[in-house]
Amino acid sequence: MLQVQFIRDHKQAVLDGLAKRNFANAETVLNEVISSDENRRKTQVLLDNVLAESNSLSKEIGQFFKSGEVQKATLLKEKTGQLKEAAKKLTEELNAAANKLQELLYQIPNIPHSSVQPGNSEEDNEEIFAEGEIPNLGETALPHWELAKKYDLIDFELGTKITGAGFPVYKGKGAKLQRALINYFLDKNIAAGYKEYQVPHLINEASGIGTGQLPDKEGQMYHATVDDLYLIPTGEVPITNMFRGNLLSESDFPIKCTGYTPCFRREAGSYGAHVRGLNRLHQFDKVEIVRIQHPDTSYEALDGMVEHIKGILRELKLPYRVLRLCGGDTGFTAALTFDFEVFSTGQNRWLEISSASNFETFQANRLKLRFKNKQGKSQLAHTLNGSSLALPRVLAGILENYQTVDGIKIPEVLVPYCGFDMID
């Protein structure tokens, strides 16, 4: 959520930013925001004045009662009746104005960073880095769902029986490989200074609002209605919300967290060849990294996260590329996002395996996550997160890129975690 003050002071910059995202009716919405805000402030001044008068009258009445001048008190009481009505009406107006402003602000996405290019879709994302060799497996390369079947690693049908499509069952060495990856990712993150957390997998409404999943995107989350809780779509939500409402001091920075969680996504509207196998699931595992930063260092931090993720992919010896997302493809809450994609040899396409973003103050404003700056004022912090990494597609990438006629080789760094070096 953008700050009203910022919109008031930098209207043109906001318009330019929204244009990069192709946000419709930006000017109209901003004008509405500004007029709602004016209305809100005007109403508040009126209400404050009424309440101030009412308060001082009440004090006088109290004095009169104390000194026994009951008649004077009774006289004043009549006056307060009118003020009460006025206050009630103004309170309603103020609430209505504040709610309207809030609703408008919820609709406006974050302003993209200056390096973000305009664009409509993933076609317009820029590749900024690529590394690793794409193995030449020729015609024999199999997609991971066939490999998974051949070596009995993942059972999609069994998951369908238990739950439904998109809830696979990992078996034997498939399960072990996945567990090895989780441990390896966590160890890498911890070595880089991230503190490990195990967090709840269900969240309440306030948490969903804090990180921006609610109120608009509830259709993407599973909702446990009896208790009004949501299954997390990503570990970002519980991890970031640990800091909701906090007032930090500068010495608390940087805050670096990591955690392994399953992720649950309804993925309403997804279908077709692109969702086969592990490509798109309703439940998948992910190791997440989250950082809370001083605004001055948040972009350094983002670069640090990108380098960290590169390091992991380099060790896994997977061919990957990094994209800077264009305005139209950048998520609602992010100012700048880098996507990581691994080349999937068996499908001959790139698969997104990580996304690292700086949200600047957008989430912090919703979370009321602030710190005391050097001037002693409270100021919004910056939040960032990234996947390190999303499991299924890394698994798919390993199966497909490491396949040989004799079986699937295990990347060297994972052998100690797996306890075997070959799936055959």
> Which residues sit at the interface with RNA, rule CB under 7 A?
4-5, 41, 44-45, 47-49, 51-52, 54-59, 61-62, 65-66, 77, 80-81, 84, 247, 370, 372, 378
Give the tokens for residue 288. 């997440």
Least distance to RNA, CB of residue 288, Å: 24
- In the complex with RNA, which residue's Cβ is closer, 50 or 399? 50
- In the complex with RNA, which residue's Cβ is closer, 41 or 274? 41
Least distance to RNA, CB of residue 291, Å: 22
Least distance to RNA, CB of residue 80, Å: 4
- In the complex with RNA, which residue's Cβ is closer, 255 or 306? 255
- Look-up of token digits 């948490």: 207
Q: What is the number of residues in the chain?
A: 424
Q: Which run of H or of E encompasses 43?
A: helix 26-67
Cβ–Cβ under 8 Å, residues 363 and 150: no
Least distance to RNA, CB of residue 363, Å: 16
- Look-up of token digits 């399953």: 262
Could you please report the per-residue DSSP string of 93-105? HHHHHHHHHHHHH
Least distance to RNA, CB of residue 365, Å: 10
Q: Please state, in angstroms and rounded to a whole number, the distance separating the CA atoms of residues 375 and 295.
A: 15
> For residue 88, how far is the Cα from the chain centroid?
38
- Look-up of token digits 């998109």: 166
Q: Please state, in angstroms and rounded to a whole number, the distance separating the CA atoms of residues 418 and 424.
A: 14
Least distance to RNA, CB of residue 255, Å: 17
Least distance to RNA, CB of residue 246, Å: 10
- In the complex with RNA, which residue's Cβ is closer, 51 or 413? 51
Strands 195-197 and 255-264: parallel
For Cα atoms 273, 278, 282, give the angle at the middle one, nearest 5 degrees: 95
Q: Please state, in angstroms and rounded to a whole number, the distance separating the CA atoms of residues 370 and 90.
A: 31
- In the complex with RNA, which residue's Cβ is closer, 41 or 195? 41
Long-range contacts of 169-177 (CB under 8 A, 24+ apart): 173/418, 173/420, 173/423, 174/148, 174/395, 176/418, 176/419, 176/420, 177/153, 177/395, 177/398, 177/410, 177/414, 177/418, 177/423
- In the complex with RNA, which residue's Cβ is closer, 54 or 160? 54
Least distance to RNA, CB of residue 372, Å: 7
* Cis geometry, peptide bond prior to residue 200 (ω within 30 degrees of 0): no
Side chain identity at residue 306, one-letter code:
V
Give the tokens for residue 63. 């004095």
- In the complex with RNA, which residue's Cβ is closer, 44 or 220? 44
Contact residues for 214 (Cβ-Cβ < 8 A; gap 6+): 205, 208, 230
Least distance to RNA, CB of residue 44, Å: 5
- In the complex with RNA, which residue's Cβ is closer, 158 or 247? 247
Which of these, 295, 379, 360, lies nearest to 1 by C-alpha position? 360
Least distance to RNA, CB of residue 263, Å: 22
- In the complex with RNA, which residue's Cβ is closer, 134 or 202? 202
- In the complex with RNA, which residue's Cβ is closer, 13 or 247? 247
